Homo-oligomer: A and B are copies of this chain.
Amino acid sequence: MIVVKVGGAEGIDLDAFARDVASLRAAGERLVVVHGGSAETNRIAARLGRPPRFVTSPSGMTSRYTDRETLEIFEMVYCGKVNKGLVERLRRLGVDAIGLSGIDGGLLTGRRKATVRSVEDGRTIVLHDDHTGTVERVNAPLLELLLTNGYLPVVSPPAISDDGVAINVDGDRAAARIAAALGAHTLLLLSNVPGLLRDVADERSLVPGFALADLEAYAPLAAGRMRMKLLGAQEALRTGVERVVLGDARSATCVTRALAGDGTVITNA
């Protein structure tokens, strides 16, 4: 079992991604796909007059501030446009794909943040009405039910809180939870960079790999979104996944290449 998360940043070709997934499925690989949609969400939000608002936590993590209207725009793009577009592409290639958000069937449940602390101009302020949170549980039997019946699940945030409120969650960490819950041996986190870089300005400075035990030494190299990927990798490897590959989604055979070890390979050995 392999869980593949494909990002939603600029430069990612979902047509090529779908072709590569279809060829792996045809070769008998068991797969679950998780996707993002950030760039398209930013475009649609801007067109709707609701440009994204990013907040930086006191610990330096950057995330999208998600009030109710922002959550609904997020759902429109992730669960509507991107998820259905990807399922359509896969079906056209003969893959029996089925799209699900984390809300559906309680697939991804967890905790909603009561408040969000944001550092703005050096001061920490507290924001309310935020619809973000963290995935704590995966409805693995639902995914197993679909896989057993020949379907390829294509999963999108948001998740849903224990009291039944939709929450925006990080897609990389959601994919890590899914990989752990399904007992996947490999988790691929594909985005628009080649992997973890020693110098973010130089794509040739790729870190080829390291063991989980050495993660602390490499963590300082990660900035922005890459920090969340390392956190997801750590969570997955600590809960039974054998290998996480931070790979490049911009090539025509991105899944196959990441599976072959192209990217930053982190192992639990």
A interface list, Cβ under 8 A from B: 44, 47-49, 72, 75-81, 83-85, 87-88, 91-93, 96-101, 103-106, 142, 145-146, 149, 151, 158, 160, 163-166
Contacts and interface: CB of A to CB of B under 8 A. Distances in A.
Q: What 9 pairs between A and B have smallest CB-CB spacing? A: A80-B80, A92-B164, A76-B80, A76-B76, A98-B105, A79-B80, A98-B104, A75-B80, A75-B84
A192 to B, nearest CB: 22
A197 B187 CA distance: 58
A158 B163 CA distance: 30
A151 B146 CA distance: 13
B92 A84 contact: no
- Interface residues of A, dominant DSSP: helix
Number of copies: 2
A91 B160 contact: yes
Contacts of A164: 88, 91-93
Contact of A101 (B84, B106, B160): B84
Nearest to A93: B164
A149 B78 CA distance: 26
A163 B103 contact: no
A158 to B, nearest CB: 8
Contact of A88 (B87, B91, B149, B166): B166
Contact of A106 (B79, B91, B165): B91
